[in-house]
Amino acid sequence: MNKSINELLTEMTLSEKASICAGLNMWMTKGIERLNIPPVHMYDGTNGIRKTNSDEEMGITTENVPATCYPTGSAIGSSWNTDLLYEVGVALGRESKAMDVELLLGPGVNMKRTPLGGRNFEYYSEDPCLTGELGASFINGIQSEGVGASLKHFAGNNQEFEKMVTSSEIDERTLREIYLSAFERIIKKSDPWTVMCSYNLLNGTYTSENEHLLNDILREEWGYEGVVLSDWTAVNDRIRGLKAGLDLEMPGPAHYNTKAIVEAIQNGALSEEQLNRSVARVLKLVERVTSNQATDSYGDQNYHALARKAAAESIVLLKNENAILPLQPDSISSIAVIGRFAKKPRIQGAGSAKVTPTRVDIPWDEIKELAGATVTLGYAEGYPEDDAIQEDLIKESVSLAMNSDVAVLFVGQPEYAESEMRDLKSIDLPEHQVKLIQAVAAVQPKCIVVTSSGSALVMRPWVQLVPGVVHSWLSGQGMGRAIAEVLFGQENPSGKLSETFPVKLSDNPSHMRIRGENGKLYYREGLFVGYRYYDRKELAPQFPFGHGLSYTSFSYTDLEVAQVEKGVTVSFQLKNTGKRKGKEVVQLYVHDEECNWTRPEKELKAFAKIKLEPGEKRRIVFELEERDFSYYNTKYNRWVAESGFFQIALGSSSRDIRITERLHCNFGKEEVTFHKFSLLSEWLSDSTAKKVLEECLDEMNEHVTDKVYLNEEFVGFWEDFPVVKLFQMFGQNWMIDRSPDEVIQELIERVEKAR
């Protein structure tokens, strides 16, 4: 564009303004040639670029333009590595430039309310702090290359079942603390060029036209100035959407809505000023992508090496009894490799995030290379592609395992299980895989299971039968090499679970309300999602949030915590006490000991992935802000940090806390806002209000027989009574010319004046 946005707004016709608020086709915005406004090319891009062969097709079930396939969200979320997310973002930005892609539709950052979510493989975590930090780094990486990102799906989209007609019913506190917190963190730390609204309704209103969500929170409270675009066909009422702040409808051209916008302006249902705001934001997006055109060629970059690196950091070693891993080629002569996933690996989920990879590392080939010529490898398919139980395949596997020194089984969720547009039916392995593991483990004690899935897995009844379990997630085209390097110790595993693995599905807090009924899904578990629930219920998971083993060990010592002017400083010594170099994910949790409101036992507030050589020691420092100690107070509709004692806990997982310290934090006195039904305890918690109330009671006691004194006995019984009710109870003979309501209003005015 060679003119300013204001100049373009002046020159555009009403019809042109309306039309630019919808796409040109499936993957492009509409340009206006006479004004030199070019279109913007966008494609799906959560774990790779899914560029279709034509701008007129969705390309969901077809092969698209080949691009690097990185680990899916749930996999790379388990890397806990913000630097890695930035590096992958930069690579995607560069690859986008080489492919003439200007806007990537990702990342997906919705919380994992239930492990049955069909798109969980696209999302990072069950925790908003982890998700927010990873998402911000990813977006900063992409946009550093002049390619826009699209933060999605905003908000409350946590299931696929009837998502286009279901209202996510979420109370305001839960919405703020769990389901919006990651979005807020990302908006403020990375300023994504676009935000994509979700399909669902939120508390009765489609998110595409939800003024509380798009205007009050996103725009006014968080200060977001970028483009809000719809998920594909997520628009319900286009005029309401424009008023709420939905700038761009996708896909296009949506002629019917262009006509509706023009008519709404003409009949006064929509002001041209409201339309101009959205048009200006779309033009700003065009300006951003056109002013960042790359001059370098990025086509020769070795993106596959980065895909391998990302996969290796994402893999989680869940179990390693008797140090069965890593495998030592000089101490074994034969390995049984069992399971069709060893030769036909699952590297990603299905739907709009499915990338056509440039190449794929095959686990069997990579294991064979790293094992070397001295180790004999045998292969058995183990199970068929469908769900049939074929005893001959199990017998073949058992025979091979019996005659080998060690067995490595490749199992996981089948290809059809994890996809956009449908939720999972189960998080158990298919029955034929369970029977296979049990049969092989019965004859081969040295048995290692490598699992693949995009979500949490239930591992009973077989997990106790095997000494080694490696969870590879869906880790992209470099997964095969990464698995082989972890198995043979060339890569020290450093992934940590970004979501809780329950013992059984019914342990999950959302189990009683996984699906909506009659168009509504009530999030009645509230704040208690993931580890927050398991901690509060004192319920042991199979593997806790943040869990992941290493081939080395780490010690945590010398914890120091102190409140400073802008928050709290936490520092400690981390030492690699083992014999291998490795990376530890340090997790910092905070617990509020004294809050009057219900709060989780602990909440993740900071983390860091630290690489240390054997014997190396380093002091790690975290800077926490007041917000890290706050909860969302719906009485005052703001974040509140209450003064009092907090526990600072550092550990290797949510259930492996290594060192703690108790700290009293002074965040100042929160001024209570009084109203008609404020409780006696609230009046007494504020020194000014208490004094005003005592003066009033002294006046009342001169006229009543049943006198009120705010001693310990009286307060202990009446503290949860609204003060207005106390006047109704004890002040009948005093309030002759005034009502209880008038007395309360007078007291509130006296408090406000005294302050």
Please write the tens of the pLDDT for every residue from 229-260.
Answer: 999 999 999 999 999 999 999 999 999 999 99
Give 689's contacts (C-beta < 8 A, 6+ positions apart): 672, 674, 682, 683, 747, 751
User: Range with the lowest mean pLDDT among 295-299, 606-610, 650-654, 722-726?
Assistant: 295-299
- Taking residue 660's Cβ as centre, other Cβ atoms within 10 Å add up to 16
Q: How many residues does the chain have?
A: 755
Work out the average pLDDT over 618-624: 98
Task: Return the structure tokens found at 606.
Answer: 């900071």
Question: Alpha helices, DSSP H only, in 191-271?
Answer: 211, 238-244, 255-267
How far is it between the farthest Cα atoms of the chain? 101
Q: What is the mean pLDDT of residues 678-698?
A: 93
Quote the CA–CA distance of 8 and 5 in Å, as a whole number.
5
Give the chain's mean pLDDT: 95
Closest CA to 154 of 210, 104, 204: 210
Q: What pLDDT shows up at residue 300?
A: 52
- DSSP letter (8 states) at residue 120: G
- Rounded average pLDDT over 263-291: 96
* pLDDT value of position 295: 45
> Which residues, other chains included, contact 692 with Cβ-Cβ below 8 Å and sequence gap of 6+?
747, 750, 751, 754
Tokens 């839960």, residue located: 174
Does residue 372 carry a pLDDT above 70?
yes
pLDDT of residue 415: 86
State the angle between helix axes of 272-290 and 255-267 in degrees (0 to 180), rounded to the nearest 10.
Answer: 140
Q: Which of 231, 247, 361, 628 is catalytic?
A: 231
What average pLDDT does this structure show over 726-743?
A: 92
370 pLDDT higher than 90: yes
Rounded CA-CA distance 241/198 in Å is 13
Do 460 and 341 meet the contact criterion of CB atoms below 8 Å apart? Answer: no
Q: Are 684 and 719 in contact (CB under 8 A)?
A: yes
Give tens-digit pLDDT for 285-325.
999 998 865 545 555 579 999 999 999 999 999 999 999 99
Residue 489 CA to residue 468 CA, distance in Å, equals: 14
| Residues 707-716 pLDDT 10s | 999 999 999 9
Structural contact between residues 339 and 394, judged by C-beta atoms closer than 8 angstroms: no
> How many Cα atoms within 13 Å fall on the side-chain side of residue 507?
25
663: helix, strand or coil? strand
Q: Which comes out higher in pLDDT, residue 636 or 577?
A: 577
Distance from CA of residue 171 to its chain's centroid? 19
Positive/negative CA dihedral, 40, 44, 48, 51: negative
> Quick one: pLDDT band at residue 267, thresholds 50, 70, 90?
very high
Q: If DSSP codes are grouped into helix, strand and coil, which group holds residue 9?
A: helix
Dihedral sign of CA atoms 312, 313, 314, 316 in order: positive
DSSP-derived secondary structure for 467-508 = SEEEE--S--TTHHHHHHHHHTTSS------SS-B-SSGGGS
CATH architecture of structural domain 307-536 = 3-Layer(aba) Sandwich (3.40)
Whole-number pLDDT of residue 512: 83
Residue 673 confidence (pLDDT) = 86
Phi, psi of 465 (to 5 degrees): -90, -15
Task: Break the chain into its structural domains and give their ranges.
Answer: 307-536, 554-665, 680-754
Count helices and strands in the chain by DSSP H and E runs: 22, 24
Mean pLDDT for the stretch of residues 436-450: 98
Q: β-strand 644-653 against 468-471: which pairing, if any?
A: unpaired
pLDDT of residue 299: 54
Q: For 554-665, CATH number?
A: 2.60.40.10
Tell whether omega for the bond before 153 is within 30 degrees of 0, i.e. cis.
yes
Please give the pLDDT value at position 531: 98
If one compares 23 and 511, the residue with the highest pLDDT of the two is 23
231 is catalytic: yes
Model-level pTM? 0.94
62 pLDDT more than 90 = no
Nearest residue to 178 via CA among 623, 479, 532, 608: 532
pLDDT tens digits for range 647-657: 999 999 999 99
Confidence (pLDDT) at 565: 87
Cβ atoms of 182 and 112 closer than 8 Å: no
% pLDDT > 90, the chain: 91
- Report DSSP letters for 35-95, one per residue: GTB---BEEE-SSS-B--SSTT---SSS--S-B--PPPHHHHHTT--HHHHHHHHHHHHHH
Cα 620 to Cα 608: distance, rounded to the nearest angstrom: 9
